Amino acid sequence: MKESVSRLRLFDGPLDLSWRHCATTSDFIADLFALRFQSSRNDYVEVRHSIGYVVNELIENAVKFRAPGEIVIEASMDSESFKLKVSNDVDNENASEFQSLLADITVGDPKDLLIQRIEANAANPDMAGSGLGLLTLMSDYGARLAWIFSPADKRDRICLETYASIPMSQTHN
């Protein structure tokens, strides 16, 4: 991320991180980055929605699967794309399960995989860790996603960095 980067930290504390923090944070980031499109209402609404959806999905995943601790969100945008990095710690078990899910949802066409996952979820509604959100990002928003798993400062934890990039030219044309 070479551009100017905006960084937010969500701290664990007495209020605990919850779903409402995801929506509030993603709305704030979407508003901030969509401002440059305010001269065109249609572009503004579309860009704000796309950025908000991507940010919310990745923050929700971080809150849902994190080990106790902070979540760091870094975002930037240039004329070509909006880029996001969400960092948090996960325990070894969640890291292994997530790596297994990624192996399943990153091979093949995202649109086909999304349909397969929707059908599998319909047949088994209790299916956890379906990957539908990530597949939707790739299929419907043209998101390019990447993940880095590395040892964290604390034993039995993995630092997970999730990267996303969505094209701006596709979003507001």
Q: How far apart are CA 81 and CA 155, in angstroms?
A: 36
pLDDT tens digits, 31-82: 999 998 988 888 999 999 999 999 999 999 998 888 988 999 999 999 899 9
Q: Give CB contacts under 8 A, 24+ apart, made by 91-95.
A: 91/67, 91/156, 91/157, 91/158, 92/156, 92/157, 92/158, 94/65, 94/67, 95/149, 95/158, 95/160
**Residue 17: band (very low, low, confident or very high) from pLDDT cuts 50, 70, 90:** low
The model's pTM is 0.89
The predicted pLDDT at position 140 comes to 94
Residue spans of the domains in the chain: they are: 6-104+144-167
| Token output for 4 | 């100017």
CATH number of this structure's domain 6-104+144-167, picked from the four choices 3.30.450, 2.40.360, 3.30.565, 1.10.3910: 3.30.565
With beta carbons less than 8 A apart as the criterion, state whether 67 and 157 touch: yes
* Residue 112 pLDDT greater than 80, yes or no: yes
Q: What would the mean pLDDT of 16-42 be, rounded to a whole number?
A: 87
**Confidence band, pLDDT 50/70/90 cuts, at residue 1:** very low
